[in-house]
A and B are shown apart, each in its own frame.
Chain A
Amino acid sequence: MTTIDHDVQTETPFVPSFDTPSEEGRKLAIICSKGTLDMAYPGLILGNAALGEGIETHLFFTFWGFDMINKKTQSSLKATLLGNTAMHMPQGLGGIPGMTHLATSQLKKAIAELDIPEVPDFLDQIVASGGHLWACRLSADMNHLTEADLRDDVEGIISASDFIEMTAGAQLLFI
């Protein structure tokens, strides 16, 4: 911090340091591996925040996370009670027809009330902010998907080693 003698009038104006050298070249890579609505958001929120701080940000979608960038599924991610004890409801309820739909619409409503965009819009915003989207080669092959099935702004389907190479020196988040 730089405040020590700013109580006295100084010649040089005291201005926020928006481009601190320690953050130069900081890079963040987020691995999005989940396809449920609730678990799609952490990566989106953190990625978006990082971009707002001027940090180079890459999102890598793998396994179930593929649903976030698959044109067919990106708008219909769901939240479920099943296997999620943090919903604090009897697990048996989760199996009742309609419960997943109910949990999903509740969550969507809560998210919309906070003016947080839906997943496709959120990815639009991330790309507009300079974020990079990548798809996992193995997940694409397993699901017989090609670039044509994915959002147009996905920059490529890349292998695990490509990803490791590309994120040299980056901070990593696995979600």
Chain B
Amino acid sequence: MPSTTIAGRQINVNDEGFLLDPDDWTEDLGAEFARLIGVEMTEDHWKLVRYLRQDYKAQGETPTLRRVSTQTGMPVKQLFTLFPGKPAKKMAYVAGVPKPKGCV
């Protein structure tokens, strides 16, 4: 199992680099994850990250982009602006939850 040191903490990650145990997550760690992938966190970013963590806890799986958009009311276009390129995976990484499995 790979481990790495981020924000001064040694954490366990999967072979892609995603945090292995969502319970290891803290806001400081999330902020550092974001910095490392070149995302500058704003209140909108945090709103999404908090939603992802809360939904993951409730549903046992990471929401897809569509679910994030319908549940938070944030337009899909904005999700792509906030987390450019691969929004679903990037926000999951910052939130310390696994990447989403759903197709849509």
Do these two chains really belong together in a complex?
yes
Chain B contacts for A48, CB-based, 8 A: 104
* Interface residues of B, dominant DSSP: mixed
- Is there contact, CB below 8 Å, between B4 and A14? yes
- Is there contact, CB below 8 Å, between A52 and B4? no
- How would residues 60 to 104 of chain B score, 1 for a CB under 8 Å from any chain A CB and 0 otherwise? 000001110110000111001000111111100100000000011
Interface residue? B16 (CB, 8 A)? yes
Cα of A16 to Cα of B94 in the assembled complex, Å: 11
Chain B contacts for A115, CB-based, 8 A: 66-67, 70, 104
Chain A contacts for B75, CB-based, 8 A: 128
Q: Which residues 1-32 in A have Cβ within 8 Å of B in the complex?
A: 1, 3, 6-7, 9-10, 13-19
Q: A6-B4, A128-B77 are in contact. Are A49 and B103 (CB under 8 A)?
A: yes
Q: How far is the CB of B86 from chain A (nearest CB, A)?
A: 5
* Interface residues of A, dominant DSSP: loop
- Is there contact, CB below 8 Å, between B18 and A16? yes
Interface residue? A147 (CB, 8 A)? no
Cβ 8 A contact of B4, one of A13, A18, A117: A13
Q: How many residues of B contact A (CB 8 A)?
A: 34
Interface residue? A80 (CB, 8 A)? no
Please tell me the size bucket of the interface on A. Answer: 20 to 34
Q: How far is the CB of A132 from chain B (nearest CB, A)?
A: 14
Interface residue? A87 (CB, 8 A)? no
Q: A14-B13, A16-B37 are in contact. Are A7 and B3 (CB under 8 A)?
A: yes
Interface residue? A162 (CB, 8 A)? no
Q: A14-B4, A48-B104 are in contact. Are A9 and B10 (CB under 8 A)?
A: yes
Of B5, B84, B86, most A-chain CB atoms within 10 Å: B86
Residue of chain A at shortest CB distance from B1? A7
Q: Which residues 13-40 in B have Cβ within 8 Å of A in the complex?
A: 13, 15-18, 33, 36-37
Residue of chain A at shortest CB distance from B10? A9
